[in-house]
Each structure stands twice: as C-alpha cells, then as structure tokens.
Amino acid sequence: MTSKTIVLTGASDGIGAASARQLAASGHRLILVGRSPEKTRAVAADTGAEWFTADFARLDEVRELAASIADAVGDTGIHVLANNAGGIFGDQTPTVDGFEKTLQVNHLAPFLLTNLLLPQLRTGHAAIINTSSVAHRLFAKLDVDDLDNRKNFSANRAYGDAKLANVLFTKSLHAKFRGEGLTSVAFHPGTVQTNFASDSSTVMRLVYRTPLRHLLLISSEKGGRNLTWFVEGTPDETWISGEYYDERVLTRRVNPRIEDAALAEALWQRSAELVGIPAA
C-alpha cells in the first residue's frame, strides 16, 4: 500500500484515535489533531504520529492550525484530510466567534480548515473525508439564513443541521474541485460507544452514558475501522466521490435536501462569509 500523508482531526478520542492506531500499522505519515493536549499526545505516542492541538470552538486556533500543518507538510502536500472532529452540545451559548457551538465545531471550523489547506490538498490530489451522521436525515431543518437556529433551537436540530451541512459541503467540494483532482465523501460511522454527547443535555446523552450503550452502540474500534476504510480506500473505486455512505454502504436513506445544488451553494457562500474567506 502506498504511504499517504494523512491529516486526521478529532484524533484524541473515539473513532479518530482508533483509526489513527489502525492507520499507523500501514506506515502512513499521520498528522493528528485534537482538542486535548494530553489525549492527543498519548495517541501520537502510540502511533508515532505528528500532532497539533486546536479548539474548533475558536476559529483563530483553526487558522493557526492550518498554518502549522501547511508548514509541516511543505511541498509534499496532503493526500487525505479526514474532518472527523465534532459533537453535540446542550445550549445556545455562543463561541468566542459569536456562533452556535454545534454549528461551529461540526461545520464552520472544518469548512475553514479545508479551505485554508486547499493549496496542500491540491498538491496531494487529496481525498477529503467528512464524518457526518444519520442525524442529517432525522433532525435537520437547515435554514441558511438562520444557521445558528436562533428562531427555533434544539440541540438535536442543531446537530442534525450541522451533519446535513457536512454532506452538502461534501457535494460542493466534489462539484467545485473534482476537475482539479480532489475527491470528497461523507459517511455515518455507526452509532459508536464514545464520549460523544457527554457535554450535552439531550436524550442522546442518556444512551451514551447508561447500559443502553451496550445494546445500541458499536465499539470505537469498529467505527474507527469504518473511517480507516475511507482513508485507505481508492476514490471512485472503493467509494464514490461526492456521495454519502451509511458506514460503508452507499445508501439512499438520506435527507433529500442533500441533492439540492442551490442549497449547497448557498451554504458555501454563507459559510465563507461567516468565517471571513473568499467564496470559491
């Protein structure tokens, strides 16, 4: 297997940490990103990876992260960017940047990071893998004019909207950059036994923190293997660029709005405006 330079966010815990350990066995160059220095350092020590920390609830840290990664990869570029960081949060307390936290951590921050790394992604003819969720189908009611859900907030809707944004972002990446050699895919990793939802007051927190998790959830290792499958796969052979998968299965059980090209473009333009970058 050809060695790849892989940037993996959300790598300090859960499926990101599991995938990092799996990928290390194949000799890839791993660049891990996590919020916790202690946890990220520990995974990096286990895998021989390079590592950086950034809190995606702070866009200044995302910008610093992008600059650090660009310096680290130099002329070699990036072959895979796995946007895996995310979570569901319990209230509307805004981030320091003024955005609802679920929206920022799950969508605006990876949108910004991906765009800032476009030169390195182009050099590596990269695959961009976005960890989404079945929540995009169950809860989303995305309104581009109210991405923060100020009018009708619930934690589940905020998460569903952010996960729908992940899929729409994937569609836009494919539409805008496939001709330049970039590919993109979004996937639901399975409902995994992790610390997901630990900062939330939603009913999902109960599922993740009670014995129900043994009946309803899969292991971090299995979820990590699903992520690893996309990272190590060959675009348009292993998986199809621009599509959404449920675990490793190309599925049509989706929110029909993922096929709304006008919505995807409106989301891109609005996201670029919010994070302060030129719209592609």
Burial class (CB in 10 A: 0-12, 13-18, 19+), 268: buried
Catalytic entry in 159, 208, 244, 245: 159
Give bridge partners of residue 192 from the DSSP assignment: 218
112 to each of 2, 51, 57, how far by Cα in Å? 28, 19, 12
Pairing of strands 243-246, 80-83: unpaired
Burial class (CB in 10 A: 0-12, 13-18, 19+), 272: middle
Q: Within a 10 A sphere around the Cβ of 154, how many other Cβ atoms?
A: 13
Helix 37-47 crosses helix 14-24 at what angle (to 10 degrees)? 20
Give bridge partners of residue 246 from the DSSP assignment: 188, 249
Provide φ and ψ at 173, rounded to 5°. -55, -45
Examine the residue annotation and report whether 159 is marked as an active-site residue of this protein.
yes
- Give catalytic residues, as residue numbers: 159
